[in-house]
Amino acid sequence: MKSSSRFWLVWMVAIASIGSTHSAQAQVEAQSDSPHLTIRSNIPRLSNLNEPNSSVEEWVQMAQVVQVTEVRVNPTETGVEVILETGDGVLPSPTLTTLGNALVADIPDAVLALPDQNDFLVTNPAEGIALVTVTPTEAGIRVAITGADAPPVADVRVEAQGLAIAVTPSVPSAETEQDAIQIVVTGEQDEEYAVTDSTVGTRTDTPIIEVPQAIQVVPEPVLEDQNALSLNDALRNVSGVQISFASEQSPTTAVIARGFNIDNFLVNGLRDTTFGDLGVGLTNVERVEVLKGPASVLYGLGDLGGTINIVTEQPLSDPFYELEYTLGSFGYNRPAIDLSGPLNASETLLYRLNAAVEFGGSSVDFEEIESRPFVAPVLTWQISDDTVLTAEANYLRNNTRSESPALPAVGTVIGNPNGDIPLDVNLGEPDLVETEEQVTRVGYRLEHQFNEDWALRSEFNSAFFRELNNTIVFPLGLQPDQRTLSRALVDVNTDRDNYVLNNTLTGRFSTGTIEHQLLVGVELARETVTDQFVANLINPIDIFDPVYSPDSVGDVVLSQDLFTRTDSIGFYVQDQISFTDNLILVLGGRFDIAGVTREDAIAGINDFQEDNAFSPRVGLVYQPTDDVSLYTSYTRSFTPQAGQTFSGEAFEPERGTQYEIGVKANLLGDQLFATLAFFDLTRTNVLTTDPDNTLFQIQTGEQRSRGLELDVQGEILPGWSIIAAYALTDAEIAEDEVFEEGNQLFNVPQHSGSLWTVYELQSGDLRGLGVGLGLFFVGERTGDLNNTFELPSYVRTDAMVYYQRDRFRAQLNIRNLFDVDYFEASRSGTDLEIIAGQPLTVLGKVSWQF
């Protein structure tokens, strides 16, 4: 492990020594009316083009340059006027060029000498003008004025002590619109907490405010400020989402949304069923999108609580290199690199490479991450002005030792006459327990723009999960003395392969005065799972004074050897119909055919089952103003169920139905985005134990979840950002043959919420210093469907401080600041698997961009 650490450090230093010393602030975005290809990432500011050891005075001494001491942006009747004032000297006439939607004025022999700042930026100064930046370059100063839809028109006046640029917005021409998928450099919207666009709700580039369903996005700035290391960390910021499995040892993600367990993970819009086995962390993740409620109309088979879309970082047209190192409590280490840029002079071939490795200990005795290497290459080839091909892959290997099983409820959330169980105790067998697993993902995305209205997209993803060696200890029950825990040693072997091919055609057209945005698609998918395990009894253990017995492995008590293959095809269509500028009707439907083959080698069962279902969605959006929308929607989900009852009847597909109404709003001049949603979800055909034949199941179950959710994110004042959430959820059993009607679903609190806020100083000697505070509240929730015990409520407090200047950033995060003992969840809804929360943990991170 030490040699691995030295190798990574040497590698990163070597890369740093040969890398470029220049960087650029950019957001790479392929632009079109329909659809948009968006490739974004945080990258350095253009002010970093200054050499780090060169002051303004040294620049003046080196060349006869004119100092710009003040920059102003004044609104006019036709647009804005950008004024650059000088102390002495006349600025030379600029060279004007266009870059995408930006008008660029390069002024030679000039230097930016603004007090207390290295560059200048104003967003949305006038209608039709999205961004104005003034930044230093090696040759002088660059003024970039970005239009909302097309490059603006400018009139330049050179004056005695300055320069004025009168800017008028322009509308996109047909020629501009046809230049659809060209990669251009734009502003720095990715540095904001508020996100107003997403493709997860419609598979088209539609503003979130126009989607008749709740969508929350956790953007990269939040992930960076919180130093989020796992998907669980990111999802704590989303209303109505609860963590149902969390381990310092495992990168596995398991969550509940709107009261129901979900396994709906997408990577760049394609379903990936291996994500619940082994995720990728957040090394190459740009943002996390959560679509609330059923999404079968767009993404096919899946659970009804919600869908999580992982958006990965894409290649940049300007060279970008970043080194990062994180150190933490319990010996945690994580070096990482992020490299990107063009591979040819014409910048039609771009690359990006993210890589990281984790290793270290845990708050639980003996647990250790031996190594967790990750690498993710991406290549983007702009074949022509209208066609872009992106190939993407990633590989993650997880090697851990001595992972402890979860703790019994008696002694943690239920009183034990012997006392409280120490939360750092390891009740497994440290010498026997180890995990070696890996996942490989490979895919492509091909986009072609026929004209300004019609586009074709073909995308494919394959994922291969392998458990090379996985031995765990499973708790079987507490003995009558309430301190002796019976256990089994389980060898698990799971292989999972996932393939998804999706093709869509999108287009815009009009029928009279009514405008349409049409989406037509077909999706083919296959998933194969081999699930084997063998369980052997081992000696019980004293939960208060553990003595390990690695030589006590006994007879086999249980084994399993299952193979399942699911093949599906889905045909879907969606029409976003704009009757007027403020009234949108969304109609969608999908027809799925799914066939499930199941082979049980031990029971000698070999069967096949085919199901089909139609999943509709109807939504209506009304915008009384541009910044407020009122919406309502109805949607359904479809999940096939393999198996049969005691009498041999095949299970029907599980169905979900949701009604939702809500309000979305841009607040404080588009700086804040808020969503308030009310929902009613019903889950039918739920499998439940057959009371007459307990080894079998029947389908009479029905569960219901109702509630409201509020999410707010964005910037309150310059430098003061916030992301906050609150959920009121009432999730209960409506019908069941075993459990009492009205019982609450386990791990679902009635009240939950979060608040994360950061303030960064904007001027003065301490400009770039930021502080943050987070509060994460989870209310009481039941631990099983019988409602026999509860997990107590908790508030976890996090804190953060950072300092960033130019290319350097140093950051300190403290999780669970007051070291509160809390419990995340009851795994599987039993009183033998209570997951303890993370204790006081400190993470320090240093990053350098060049």
The CATH number of residue 406's host domain is: 2.40.170.20
Which residues on neighbouring strands pair with residue 140, listed in sequence order? 108
DSSP code string of 201-216: TTSS-EEGGGSSS-EE
The CATH number of residue 131's host domain is: 2.60.40.3500
Per-residue pLDDT band for 694 (boundaries 50, 70, 90) equals low
Answer yes or no: is 677 within a domain.
yes
Per-residue pLDDT band for 476 (boundaries 50, 70, 90) equals very high
Give the pTM: 0.79
Instruction: Report, as an integer, the average pLDDT of 673-684.
Output: 96
**Same domain as 181, residue 327:** no
Number of H helices, E strands in the chain: 6, 49
Per-residue pLDDT band for 106 (boundaries 50, 70, 90) equals confident
Please report the pLDDT score of residue 64 as a whole number. 61
**pLDDT digit string, tens, across residues 285-295:** 999 999 999 99
Please report the pLDDT score of residue 396 as a whole number. 95
Instruction: Report, as an integer, the average pLDDT of 501-506.
Output: 97
Please report the pLDDT score of residue 191 as a whole number. 59
Quote the tokens at residue 347.
Answer: 């910048």
CA separation for the pair 166, 157 (Å, rounded): 8
Edge-to-edge strand list for the sheet holding 120-126: 95-99, 102-108, 140-147, 129-136, 120-126
Better-scored residue on pLDDT, 116 or 703 = 703
* Maximum pairwise Cα distance, the chain: 95
In the listed set 154, 169, 187, which residue is the last one of a domain according to the structure?
Answer: 187
| Cβ atoms 261, 705 nearer than 8 A | no
> How many CB atoms within 10 Å of residue 51?
12
CA separation for the pair 154, 145 (Å, rounded): 9
Answer yes or no: is 303 within a domain.
no
Q: Is residue 4 pLDDT above 70, yes or no?
A: no
Which residues on neighbouring strands pair with residue 586, listed in sequence order? 576, 619
Answer yes or no: is 155 within a domain.
yes
> How many CB atoms within 10 Å of residue 103?
23
In the listed set 187, 217, 244, which residue is the last one of a domain according to the structure?
Answer: 187
User: Which residues, including other chains, have CB under 8 Å from residue 303's CB and lie 6 or more apart?
Assistant: 260, 261, 262, 263, 264, 637, 639, 656
> How many CB atoms within 10 Å of residue 155?
11
Quote the tokens at residue 762.
Answer: 């904007």
| Residue of 804, 726, 800 lying closest to 767 (CA atoms) | 804
Instruction: Report, as an integer, the average pLDDT of 546-568.
Output: 92
- What is the identity of the amino acid at 375? V
Instruction: Please give, one letter per residue, the 3-state secondary structure of 471-490.
Output: EEEEEEEECCCCCEEEEEEE
Would you give the end-to-end CA distance of the chain in angstroms? 28
- Percentage of residues in the chain with pLDDT exceeding 70? 89
In 3-state terms the chain splits into helix, strand, coil percentages (rounded to 5) of 5, 60, 35
Please report the pLDDT score of residue 850 as a whole number. 87
CA separation for the pair 586, 824 (Å, rounded): 38
CA separation for the pair 832, 406 (Å, rounded): 7
- What is the chain's mean pLDDT, rounded? 86
Answer yes or no: is 289 within a domain.
no
Quote the tokens at residue 643.
Answer: 């198996």
The beta strands (E) that lie in 581-651 are given as 583-600, 605-625, 628-639
Per-residue pLDDT band for 30 (boundaries 50, 70, 90) equals very low
**pLDDT digit string, tens, across residues 745-801:** 999 999 999 999 999 998 888 999 999 999 999 999 999 999 999 999 999 999 999
Better-scored residue on pLDDT, 818 or 113 = 818
Which letter does DSSP use for residue 232 in this model?
H
B/e letters for 643-680, b = 16+ CB within 10 Å, e = fewer, are: bbeeeeebbebbbbbbebbbebbbeeebbbbbbbbbbe
Answer yes or no: is 5 within a domain.
no
Question: Which long-range contacts link 72-75 to residues 24+ away (Cβ below 8 Å)?
Answer: 73/122, 73/125, 73/132, 75/125, 75/126
Answer yes or no: is 767 within a domain.
yes
Least confident piece of the model among 69-83, 284-298, 586-600: 69-83
| Cβ atoms 166, 79 nearer than 8 A | yes
Distance of CA 734 to the CA centre of its chain: 33
User: Which residues, including other chains, have CB under 8 Å from residue 829's CB and lie 6 or more apart?
Assistant: 746, 747, 783, 784, 785
**pLDDT digit string, tens, across residues 331-347:** 999 999 999 999 999 99
In the listed set 143, 162, 187, which residue is the last one of a domain according to the structure?
Answer: 187
Q: Is residue 175 pLDDT above 80, yes or no?
A: no
User: How many domains are there within the chain?
Assistant: 2
Per-residue pLDDT band for 213 (boundaries 50, 70, 90) equals very high
Instruction: Report, as an integer, the average pLDDT of 242-265.
Output: 82
Please report the pLDDT score of residue 587 as a whole number. 97
Please report the pLDDT score of residue 361 as a whole number. 86
| Cβ atoms 552, 539 nearer than 8 A | yes
Kindly report the backbone phi and psi dihedral angles of residue 19, in degrees, each rounded to the nearest multiple of 5, phi listed first: -75, 165
Answer yes or no: is 20 within a domain.
no
Answer yes or no: is 24 within a domain.
no
**Same domain as 325, residue 177:** no
User: Residue 13: exposed, middle, or buried by beta-carbon count in 10 A (0-12, 13-18, 19+)?
Assistant: exposed
B/e letters for 352-384, b = 16+ CB within 10 Å, e = fewer, are: bbbbbbbbbbbbbbbbbbbbbbbbbbbbbbbee
User: Residue 432: exposed, middle, or buried by beta-carbon count in 10 A (0-12, 13-18, 19+)?
Assistant: buried
**In the block, residue with structure tokens 């095809």:** 569
Q: Is residue 163 pLDDT above 90, yes or no?
A: no
Please report the pLDDT score of residue 431 as a whole number. 94
CA separation for the pair 643, 646 (Å, rounded): 10
**pLDDT digit string, tens, across residues 512-536:** 999 999 999 999 999 999 999 999 9
Better-scored residue on pLDDT, 25 or 425 = 425
- What is the identity of the amino acid at 481? D
Domain extent, residue 822, equals 320-849
Least confident piece of the model among 60-64, 445-449, 716-720, 816-820: 60-64
Please report the pLDDT score of residue 695 as a whole number. 67
**pLDDT digit string, tens, across residues 609-644:** 898 999 999 999 999 999 999 999 999 998 888 777
Quote the tokens at residue 83.
Answer: 């004024």
